[in-house]
Structure 1
Amino acid sequence: MRADTDSTFDELDGSGSASSGWDESARPKRRGRIVLLAIAAAAVVAVACTATAIVVQAGERPETDKPKAPKETAEIIRQTLQESKTAQGTLGYDGANELGSGIPGTVTSVPAPGTQIGLGGGLFSIDNVPVFLFHGAVPVWRSFETGMSDGPDVQQLEQSLAALGYFDETPDQEFDWDTKDAIMEWQDDKDLEETGTIPMGRIVFAPGDVRVGELVVKVGSPAGPGAPIIKTTGLNKLVTADLKLADQALGVVGNAVTVRLPGGESATGVIASVGVPTETEGEGGKKTVVIPVTITLDDPAAGGSLQEAAVSIDFPSESRPDVLTVPLGALLAVDGDTFGVEVVQSDGTTKLMPVTTGLFAGGLVEISGDGIEAGQKVVVPAL
């Protein structure tokens, strides 16, 4: 067969074509197409190999070359862990009251809100004559004059006159010559008519010094029996709050609390009084029963210049003394029933150690377990 084939290709005419009629021009085109296909296939394989090499190279990057995130740690501390419940309250002044005068007339002067008025000071003026502050729990209900019956209001009057330096005897409930003489000395110093008597309304009794909180009337308004002229408070700041009925066990007189003030500051205080269950109306007209409590601040100046402000109060509930504690973030769930902490060893490595949890409070958790000791460092994963 090969001899016949070669002879066929050797029999060419003058134009270079085989005498048998074979189109020799198609042959090189076919070879070119085969060559191109082979090159393209090789290129695809080369790209695939290159991509594979890149992937393999990236995947084979040594573990030690990877950047490691820094580990935050905290110390295991032995301390008293205190749980508390928080209630909302109001910072204000004690002894809110309304004061007026039984003297009919026209209000001719009033003090500015915020003014502090002490024993013997003028509260306001009626017909241009001051009404004075005396100390006492019993309100004024009559005039003071010779022949009046004995009573605790007389003793209050004498105690105030003694504190002001006008009464030298032992205060009692009897209005006598010593009482009248002390009144006349006081009237002389105040440029009042020296009658030895005090008409009803010329003085007002309050338990102590007062602070003017609000004006009820303006200058020029009429004054008369039972009509308040100013609203006053005491000078000491206090906090009031309502405890839920379910939390009434937290309201114990003498218990210490923490008051969270505006601006992030805090102050300590003591529960001074606990009221009786009171029904209040909340949002949507829903009625609830609360326990009102009053708290005095350990440092009266802790409230600064705040006249009134919303605060929150932490009432201590459960307490665990002398326990090991870590931040809550250090606690790891080992499985559904077990917790652990990652303890830093002396060589810098860490070891996951199982722990038993106790009280959770204030972002801390009580822990215990074999090998768990105060002073150890535990890993706290960064958030």
Structure 2
Amino acid sequence: MTASSESVKPRRRRAVWWTAGAAVCVIALTGGGLAAANAFGPPPAASEQQREYSTVPIEEGTLSGTRTMPGTLDYAASKDLPSGVGGVLTEVPDAGSQIGVGGALFAVDNVDVYLFHGALPAWRAFERGMGDGPDVKQLEENLKALGFFDEEPDEEFDWDTEAAIEAWQEATGQAETGRIDLGRVVFAPTDLRIAEVKAAVGDAIGPGVAAVKVSGLVKEVKAKLKLADQKLGVVGNQVQLQLPGGVQTTGTITAVGQPVEEENNGMSSVVVPVTIALDDPAAADGIQRANVTVDFPSETRENVLSVPVEALMAVPGGGFGVEIAKSDGTTELVAVEAGLFAGGRVEISGAGIEAGLDVVVPKQ
């Protein structure tokens, strides 16, 4: 907001203390004397220390309060990926590698374990004579996407399926058996990122032992709300995010978990986990993992009058007031009711208070 160029020297200001949400805010402003129309008392002596002030207009609009909580930015869907086959780990990608459909996740006994797309995990080998099922259709969809299957994918393992497997095996340097053993392909909904290498080349691993930790390619924010603030966690609501380096962006709540009990420094508390998707994923480019700040909207008032909190004064006898700058260079202290405090502003109302009137604030 742009302050007016006119400087005024209003009356000495009393300290203002208030509680807004979870934060206690303090304003201590001092000023010099100026003859003003003042219903609350005479102006101070001219010998008092003087300080320059400026004016800003009262604004009408929407005021939103927030509850600020810590959060963690990281790649989504991070989990250990157990091997489906046993043997010696002979190859593993570097941490940070991205694996697409048909790519190798790691190798056991010098045979790769491949990533295919799909929500259904593999639970049996793919071979001639197997029963029909959605896993067969899912396999054929991947073989078609890779260019090895020409027919319309269905749930039947037939000659076309076997031929497509053999063509894929030939292209990837495998033995051309027309069969895929259980554990040699891993189905995941999206491409994966190697988040961490869990075993070293040369290690013996058995089925169920994690060779790598994987994640999705998209970053998300995890935060925890206090039980008393759980109403702020609503799927679809937008939040404000502050990333490292002062980067400001927004996110949308995508999931709200059930309340869970956690212990911190010997104290137990119940929290509600919240997952947030970045509205602009590019805002987190170059950040692997970081602590962030999340502002959850807690209360919104529309069509209200507000001023910077610095404009609010304590008045004799209790209550609040603002100094209205008049056209003749004087000021008038007007009593107001203070409402919502949010974003460095405060909602005000009272007789004679309207949008566009200039109020006195400390000159920046």
With the length of structure 1 as denominator, give the TM-score of the two structures: 0.79
AA aligned to 1:206 is: A
Aligned mate of 1:292, from 273, 277, 285: 273
Tell me which residue corresponds to 1:336.
317
Distance (Å, rounded) in 2 between the aligned partners of 1:64 and 1:255: 53
| Whole-Å separation in 2 of the counterparts to 1:64 and 1:310 | 51
CA contact (8 A) 2:247 2:283 kept: no
What is the DSSP-based 3-state SS (H/G/I as helix, E as strand, rest coil) of the residue aligned with 1:181? Answer: helix
Please say if 1:356 is aligned against 2:340.
no
Contact preservation (8 Å) 2:311, 2:360: yes
Please tell me whether residue 129 in structure 1 is matched to residue 111 in structure 2: yes
Query: Which of residues 132, 137, 141 is equivalent to 1:155?
Result: 137
Instruction: Give 2:283's aligned residue.
Output: 302
CA contact (8 A) 1:101 1:204 kept: no
Q: Which runs of 5+ in 2 are unaligned?
A: 1-44
- Where 2:169 maps in the other structure, the secondary structure is helix
Task: Output the CA distance in 2 between the equivalents of 1:315 and 1:67.
Answer: 41
Q: CA deviation at 1:208?
A: 1.0
Query: Kindly tell me: are residues 249 and 64 of structure 1, through their superposed partners in 2, closer, same or farther at Cα, counting changes over 3 Å?
Result: closer
Range with bigger deviation, 219-228 or 347-356: 347-356
Aligned twin of 1:366? 347
Per-residue deviation, 1:64: 8.4
- Match of 2:158? 176
User: Residue 52 of structure 2 contacts residue 362 of structure 2 at CA under 8 Å; is this kept in 1?
Assistant: no
2:195 is matched with 213
How much has 1:382 moved relative to structure 2? 5.6
Letter in 2 for 1:314: D
Assess, with a 3 A threshold, how the Cα gap between structure 1 residues 66 and 94 changes in structure 2: closer, same or farther.
closer
Q: Which residue of 1 aligns with 2:251?
A: 269
CA distance in 2, matches of 1:110, 1:182: 26
Q: Which residue of 2 aligns with 1:6?
A: none
Contact 1:326 1:366 (8 Å CA) reproduced: yes
Shift of 1:235: 0.6
The structural deviation recorded for 1:173 is 2.2
Deviates more, 1:254-263 or 1:373-382: 373-382
- How big is the shift at 1:68? 4.8
The Cα shift of 1:67 comes to: 8.6
Gap change, CA 1:171 and 1:97, over 3 Å in 2: farther
Secondary structure at the aligned position of 2:143 is classed as helix
Aligned pair in 2 of structure 1 residues 114, 181: CA closer, same or farther (>3 Å)? same
Within 5 Å, which residues of 2 pair with 1:219-238? 219-238=201-220
Rounded Cα–Cα distance in structure 1 between residues aligned with 2:80 and 2:47: 78
Q: How many residues align?
A: 320
Matches of 2:310 and 2:260 in 1, distance apart? 41
The code of the aligned residue for 1:369 comes to G
* Structure 1: gaps (5+ residues): 1-62
Q: Cα offset for 1:325?
A: 0.8
SS in structure 2 of the partner of residue 123 of structure 1: strand
Measure how far apart 1:315 and its partner are: 0.9
In structure 2, relative to structure 1, the CA distance for the partners of 1:268 and 1:166 (3 Å cut) is same
Partner of 2:304: 323
Deviations 1:331-373 (A, max 9, x none): 1111233321111112332221222221111221001223322
TM-score w.r.t. the length of structure 2 is 0.83
Q: Identity across aligned pairs (percent)?
A: 56
Q: Are positions 1:311 and 2:292 aligned together?
A: yes
1:192 is paired with a residue of what secondary structure? coil
2:89 aligned residue: 107
For residues 260 and 336 of structure 1, do their structure 2 counterparts lie closer, same or farther at Cα, with a shift above 3 Å needed?
A: farther
Q: Which has the higher strand share?
A: 2
Which of 126, 136, 146 matches 2:128?
A: 146
Q: What is the root-mean-square deviation of aligned Cα atoms in Å?
A: 2.0
Aligned to 1:46: none
AA aligned opposite 1:296:
A
Q: 1:272 to 1:119 in 2, by over 3 A?
A: same
Shift of the 66–290 alpha-carbon distance from structure 1 to 2, 3 Å rule, reads closer
Structure 1 pair 313/64, CA: closer, same or farther in 2 (3 Å)? Answer: closer
Secondary structure at 1:276's aligned position in 2? coil
Q: Does 1:85 align with 2:67?
A: yes
Distance 1:151 1:81, change over 3 A: same
Deviations 1:108-161 (A, max 9, x none): 111111111110011112222221111122222221101112222222211211
Q: How many angstroms does 1:66 deviate by?
A: 9.5
Structure in which a larger fraction of residues adopt helix:
1
The match for 1:248 is 230
Q: Are residue 72 (structure 1) and residue 54 (structure 2) matched?
A: yes
How far 1:102 moved relative to its partner?
Answer: 2.6
Task: Specify whether residues 67 and 292 from structure 1 end up closer, same or farther in structure 2 by C-alpha distance, changes over 3 A only.
Answer: closer
Cα-to-partner distance string for 1:259-287 (whole Å, 9 max, x where unaligned) = 12122222211110111111111221x22
CA distance in 2, matches of 1:266, 1:66: 42
Structure with max Cα Rg = 1
